[in-house]
Amino acid sequence: MIKNSILNRLQLPEEVAEILAECKSLSWANSIEDLRTFFDGLGDKPQVVEYDIAGKGAVQEAFVCRVKNGISVNYCESYMRRRDPDSMLIGDDLPTDKVRFHDVYSQDFSSLRKETFLWLKQQDLAAFVFLSGQRDYGIPSIALVPANAWFFVFGLALLQGIVDLSKSEQKFVPRCFLYVAPPFRHLRFEGKQRVVHCRTRNTYEIFSYNLYPGPSAKKGVYGALLHFGEQEGWVTAHAAVVQVVTPYNIKVTIMHEGASGSGKSEMNEHIHREYDGSILFGTNIVTGEKMHFVIPKGCNLRPVTDDMALCHPGIQKNNGKLTVVDAENSWFIRVDHIKGYGTDPDIEARSIHPTEPLLFLNIDAQPNSTALLWDHVLDENAKPCPNPRFILPRRTVPDVMDQPVSIDIRSFGVRTPPCTREKPSYGIIGVFHILPPAVAWLWRLVSPRGYDNPSIIDSEGLCSEGIGSFWPFAAGLQTNFANLLLKQIVNSPKVQYILCPVQHIGSWSVGFVPEWIAREYLARRGGAHFSSDEISESSVPLLGYQLEKLVVEGFSFPKYFLNPALQPQVGREAFDEGARILNDYFARELSPFLSDALDPLGRKIIDCFLAGGRTADFESLIDHESLLTED
């Protein structure tokens, strides 16, 4: 029997083995091809994924249909189409700064854990094993999912790969366990996305009580990586990484970090062009003026990671730089910016004519049609869903790099609102700024979620995504991660740091163009090194150094894009008010880190900020390769 055959190849805790042995039926996958047998059951009508809920009857969760380029999934509720930032609850008693299950529900999680296991035993299940994090440093993992939610299994398998048990010479010993039980969203959590994380010193359990893969299949696995990294002294950065090769064969590797929506996936995209080949830098929201520029030939891009960069000590090189490798097998790409055919021909072509079936989420597609990235499903308010996604296997990405790479420049993206005289805001960041390492660490501590975030439910005001921008997925202690990030920066003295705005520069709407300009410009220079007349200290120490000039392929950008205070629609007064907003935000977010558990160097850096330190003061706190070249 398949159950006995599978159990003989696994070394499982008794309670997990019982679930697999006693469930109604078990569909085991040893490969992506095995999962495609589920496709055969899809006819010309969407499959309804639903569950019987006591007192509610049959509750529909999602509609799934087969399309020519893969599988399309649409959730019945608009709420389920984006990650709820409060989805995580901690179900154990290990040290944590997160909300515990018993703090909210006044009872220990153990009873619901047993109830979940009992429910799983009564189901037809689909299951497989995989390595969270990939490569030689992956965490052995297993997923148990109700079989009618096979699209969830398909998505997780794309994201993290599958281990073929039939080819394993030794028993597979999972340390990470993912259980999916959707009915409990309604039975116990009032319809909310909730994912309960349970840790021991050697294992990590993820109880996903909803079917949106963002907080569980994607970020739940991320949480496991962060847990084991916290114990062992390393992190998995929330970052996209790309090696940029200029037309002159100069190679620069850039790592772009930040909260969801801050431009990580976009760092791996080619610059979007108008039909005449020019690039729209932005539109002034007050005057309607548009500014275009031309780069005849863009750099070649060699993508490395899209969202999760494994910084394991086993891959670090003694070269003064941080070395990373991808922690994923596929990429969960948001396409809200693709609003029509031709926006990004590269990624559109890969999705329309893929070499293997893809998974589309929140894309309006009918059975046997072609899922198109710009056909975003409408939310209940009749507006396009802001979080359309598809999962792209990295092996299908042209020029993708599989080996570890060393980072030359670490960029941090911030979603900025418009800033005008009439409505000052923190949208005062120029095209990009160069940061001292100590200031770069501060940005990673506070990690602004930023303006109009498309990936999560709540994005109002200037609030923090949390330490490293990976904090929503971590179950441990913030200060531990603060220390790990600081150690990482100190141990990488040859890495340079920049800050990029996303969406707005002062009164200009610019989208993701600033990070593309920074990528093209710094790659052509061979890195972020400048002569003393090319940069100057910003009047806002949090912004480090600002450019005095920016010339790309002969085009000179107006200085008011480098210093938004010079924009007529902004002015010094609004700029200074924006600086005050930023400083107040940093002061509020940094204060909780001041404890005896913080690295003494970290204390010095925060104290320097709170005391009104200047850029030169921050420069003196961490030894690093100079920004300045000889004049």
Phi, psi dihedral angles at 446 (to 5 degrees) = -95, -25
At 34, which helix (H) or strand (E)?
Answer: helix 32-35
Instruction: Strand 57-67: give its sheet, edge to edge.
Output: 47-53, 57-67, 70-75, 358-361, 389-393, 330-334
290 CB neighbour count, 10 Å cutoff: 13
Kindly state the average pLDDT of the residues 252-269: 94
| Residue 354 contacts residue 380 (beta carbons within 8 Å) | no
pLDDT at residue 580 in the model: 97
Start-to-end CA distance of the chain, whole Å, equals 75
- pLDDT band of residue 455 (cuts 50, 70, 90) is low
List, for residues 4-61, the tens digit of each pLDDT value. 888 999 999 999 999 999 999 999 999 999 987 777 777 788 899 999 998 899 999 9
Q: How far is residue 563's CA from residue 579's CA, in Å, rounded to a whole number?
A: 12
- For 101, left (φ over 0), alpha (ψ -120 to 50), or beta? alpha
- pLDDT band of residue 343 (cuts 50, 70, 90) is confident
pLDDT at residue 512 in the model: 95
Kindly state the average pLDDT of the residues 302-314: 96
Structure tokens at 433: 């700024």
Q: How far is residue 121's CA from residue 18's CA, in Å, rounded to a whole number?
A: 8
Predicted TM-score (pTM) of this structure: 0.95
Domains of the chain: 2-232+358-396 (no CATH), 236-322+407-619 (3.90.228.20)
Nearest to 197 by CA among 178, 212, 183, 181: 178
pLDDT at residue 254 in the model: 98
Phi, psi dihedral angles at 14 (to 5 degrees) = -55, -40
pLDDT at residue 629 in the model: 78
Amino acid at 346: D
Nearest to 435 by CA among 523, 509, 530, 297: 530
Task: Please determine, for residue 459, whether its predicted confidence score (pLDDT) is greater than 60.
Answer: no
Kindly state the average pLDDT of the residues 107-115: 97
Kindly state the average pLDDT of the residues 481-486: 98
Q: How far is residue 619's CA from residue 440's CA, in Å, rounded to a whole number?
A: 11
pLDDT at residue 36 in the model: 78
Task: Please determine, for residue 409, whether its predicted confidence score (pLDDT) is greater than 60.
Answer: yes
Q: Could you give the C-alpha distances from 623 to 362, 436, 438, 491, 497, in angstroms and in order?
A: 47, 10, 10, 10, 14
Please provide the DSSP assignment of 545-563 as one string.
EEES--EETTEEPPGGGT-
List, for residues 523-537, the tens digit of each pLDDT value. 999 998 899 999 999
Nearest to 68 by CA among 354, 388, 389: 354
Task: Please determine, for residue 464, whether its predicted confidence score (pLDDT) is greater than 80.
Answer: yes
SS (H, E, C) 380-412: CCCCECCCCEEEEEHHHCCCCCCCCEECCEEEE
- pLDDT band of residue 260 (cuts 50, 70, 90) is confident
pLDDT at residue 44 in the model: 83
Provide, rounded to the nearest whole percent, the portion of the chain with pLDDT above 70.
Answer: 98
Kindly state the average pLDDT of the residues 459-475: 86
Task: Please determine, for residue 559, whether its predicted confidence score (pLDDT) is greater than 70.
Answer: yes
Kindly state the average pLDDT of the residues 462-491: 95
pLDDT at residue 463 in the model: 86
List, for residues 122-158, the tens digit of each pLDDT value. 999 999 999 999 778 899 999 999 999 999 999 999 9
422 CB neighbour count, 10 Å cutoff: 9
Out of 83-87, 302-306, 389-393, pick the least confident: 83-87
| Residue 344 contacts residue 398 (beta carbons within 8 Å) | no
- pLDDT band of residue 630 (cuts 50, 70, 90) is low
Task: Please determine, for residue 389, whether its predicted confidence score (pLDDT) is greater than 90.
Answer: yes
Q: What is the mean pLDDT of the chain?
A: 94
- pLDDT band of residue 615 (cuts 50, 70, 90) is very high
Kindly state the average pLDDT of the residues 376-380: 95
Kindly state the average pLDDT of the residues 334-348: 89
pLDDT at residue 346 in the model: 87
pLDDT at residue 460 in the model: 54
Better-scored residue on pLDDT, 42 or 549? 549
Amino acid at 515: E
pLDDT at residue 421 in the model: 97
pLDDT at residue 454 in the model: 65
Task: Please determine, for residue 1, whether its predicted confidence score (pLDDT) is greater than 80.
Answer: no
Task: Please determine, for residue 458, whether its predicted confidence score (pLDDT) is greater than 80.
Answer: no
Kindly state the average pLDDT of the residues 304-309: 96
Better-scored residue on pLDDT, 260 or 79? 79
